[in-house]
Amino acid sequence: MQTDLILQRPRTSDNAELLLLFHGVGSSAEDLAPLGQALAAQRLNAWVISVRSPDRSDLGRGWQWFSVQGVTEANRPERVASAMPAFLERIRAWQSETGVGPQSTTLLGFSQGAIMALESTQLCGASRHAARVIAIAGRFAQPARIKPEDVAVHLLHGEQDHVMPVRLAMEAEHELRSLGAAPTLDRFAGLGHGIDARVVQAIGRRLQDVNEEKGL
Cα-Cα-Cα-Cα torsion 52, 137, 87, 143, nearest 10 degrees, comes to -160
What angle is formed at CA 97 by the lines to CA 92 and CA 99, rounded to 5 degrees? 90
Q: How many other β-carbons are positioned within 10 Å of the β-carbon of residue 207?
A: 20
- Residue 22: helix, strand or coil by DSSP? strand
Closest CA to 4 of 85, 84, 91: 91
Query: What are the backbone angles phi and psi of residue 58, rounded to the nearest 5°?
Result: -90, 15
Closest CA to 56 of 85, 17, 25: 25
Cα R_g (the chain), whole angstroms: 16
Catalytic residues: 111, 161, 193
| 8-state DSSP, 148 | P
Closest CA to 136 of 192, 58, 88, 92: 192
Task: Please provide the size of the chain in residues.
Answer: 216
Sorted by sequence, the CB contacts under 8 Å of residue 69 that are 6+ apart come out as: 58, 59
